[in-house]
Amino acid sequence: MKSLPFILLLAALPAGAAPADGGAGRPNILLVMADDLGWGDVGFNGNPIITTPHLDRMAASGLRLTRFYTASPLCSPTRGSCLTGRYPWRFGVLAAHTGGMRMAEVTVAEVAHLKGYQTGFFGKWHLGWVKPEERLSRGFYSPPWHHGFDECFATTSAVPTWNPTITPAGNISGEEGEGGGKTKAGAPWKGGRPYVHNGVEVADNMEGDDSRIIMDRVLPFIRGAAEKQRPFLACVWFHTPHEPVVAGPEYRKLYADQDELRQNYFGAITAMDEQVGRLRAELRRLGIERNTIIFFTSDNGPADPLAEKGIASAGPFRGHKHTMYEGGLRVPALVEWPGHVTAGTASDAMGATVDFFPTIVELTGASLGKKADRPIDGVSMKGLLTGVTKERAAPLFFGYRRLVKDIDGQALVENRYKLLKSALPGGGYELYDLVDDPAEKHDLVSVKPEVFSAMKGRMAEYEESCRRSRDGADYEY
């Protein structure tokens, strides 16, 4: 299958859009993402225990996307898809740490720069090392400031969600310390300075809730852009609730009737929610909320051990992180844009993390020039945001490869039907009707052979198209 080139659309903003940069009418853009947050881990998706009042208010004043997908059932590939609008199998980040963002990729930050945006990155990068002297077993040096971000406060990968420079007791993340051994409780986490701010290791304001530590850097960035009357784009990528997930005493106390693991997991999510509240309050204090669009989602479904223990929740869906079932790929998602997105609405049309890039291109009115003909897998969400889109025009292809133990999984979703290729060595295919069977209980491979055969062929075409991209077809040499 020859991938169609991305055709740039220069669309007008919705009526009433307020200018943030001297009359150009370009909205500020915030891509907010949790880490390993399951579909069912938030109040707005019906969780009866975890308290997320600020996200719930965001849902009440915005649009809830009930069928929103990540590009992969784990972190690094999804993060790359958010930035490029391309499937991870195109840009070669197939699993956590396996590679880094290639310099030849075009990111949302670089697109925003073309239209005069100030750009910022805050939180977990996970698309390459952020310190040039790092020598890890996987990946390579490719920090966010190499990819269009002006202001950067970032870590290479996971940190504890409370006191992020110190290894917590009961660490079950399997993270390795210096010398390859498991990090001991109380020891410095990854050398004790996992964050870098514009390339410099950070030592101050590193105690307490990690989501608060991140937001303390986000808000000054937003204020600075607002004072200069410049539009801004920022990625705010929290570590919560990725392991090691730890909550502070005041947040654990909110769940005193739960066991310790649940107190930490639930409390960390509530602490992150509090920071979403700070963000929304700051936009309103500055008077720019009507010209700021906020996307909120997660990078994949809930972590395996926490989901299997019944602590983290994928809601009614089967599976979790590292699986191609809905629980690994379908995540909580919201869009808030007062005056533009109808408040308190929900859409079950398919959207995905690959859609951020073309949406941002359309919102900013940018042109990609000579690189406009490379395959872009996402589609603009403008129709979804306005309620016009009821069914996705393009399928979604998912790929995940650990590069060890022959683990290799794929999926293809075409609105109603979903085809899975097992991640287990020698595994076969599964076919599900997501309209009648969203919990994926009834395999239809033998029941609907025509659908299976057609989708299997299209999956192979997507895999080959992505392989060509990954092997160099989209890059200049």
126 catalytic residue (yes or no):
yes
Final residue of a structural domain among 386, 414, 449: 386
Let me know whether 415 and 337 are in one domain.
no
Final residue of a structural domain among 386, 418, 442: 386
Tell me the CATH number at 449: 3.30.1120.10
User: What was the pLDDT predicted at 144?
Assistant: 98
- Composition of the chain by helix, strand, coil, percent to 5: 30, 20, 50
User: What was the pLDDT predicted at 172?
Assistant: 45
Query: Is 380 in contact with 85 (CB distance < 8 Å)?
Result: no
Which member of 54, 97, 113, 126 is catalytic? 126
Q: Which of 408, 406, 410, 407 lies closest to 398 in space, CA to CA?
A: 410
Let me know whether 316 and 402 are in one domain.
no
For residue 19, whether the previous peptide bond is cis, meaning omega lies within 30 degrees of 0, is: no
Distances (CA, A) of 82 to 54, 207, 348, 357, 447: 23, 29, 20, 7, 36
User: What was the pLDDT predicted at 420?
Assistant: 96
Would you say residue 15 lies in a domain? no
Let me know whether 420 and 272 are in one domain.
no
User: Residue ranges of the chain with pLDDT lower than 70?
Assistant: 1-24, 171-183, 370-371, 403-406, 423-426, 477
The count of domains in the chain is 2
Let me know whether 401 and 382 are in one domain.
no
Q: What are phi and psi of 267, to 5 degrees?
A: -65, -40
User: By three-state DSSP, how is residue 2 classified?
Assistant: coil
Beta pairing partners, 233: 29, 119
Would you say residue 4 lies in a domain? no
pLDDT in tens, 306-329: 999 999 999 999 999 999 999 999
Let me know whether 382 and 415 are in one domain.
no
For residue 358, whether the previous peptide bond is cis, meaning omega lies within 30 degrees of 0, is: no
Tokens representing 137 are 């077993």
Give the integer Cα–Cα distance in Å for 403 and 408: 8
User: What was the pLDDT predicted at 424?
Assistant: 63
Per-residue DSSP letter, 245: P
Give the integer Cα–Cα distance in Å for 253 and 255: 5
Final residue of a structural domain among 386, 414, 442: 386
152 catalytic residue (yes or no):
no
Let me know whether 231 and 335 are in one domain.
yes
Domain membership of residue 441 as a residue range = 396-471
Let me know whether 58 and 163 are in one domain.
yes
User: What was the pLDDT predicted at 20?
Assistant: 40
User: What was the pLDDT predicted at 403?
Assistant: 65
pLDDT in tens, 326-358: 999 999 999 999 999 999 999 999 999 999 999
Tell me the CATH number at 173: 3.40.720.10
- Tokens 């204020």 locate to 223
Query: Is 8 in contact with 372 (CB distance < 8 Å)?
Result: yes
Ranges of H-type helices in 228-313: 249-252, 260-286, 304-308
148: left (phi over 0), alpha (psi -120 to 50) or beta: left
User: What was the pLDDT predicted at 354?
Assistant: 98
User: What was the pLDDT predicted at 425?
Assistant: 60
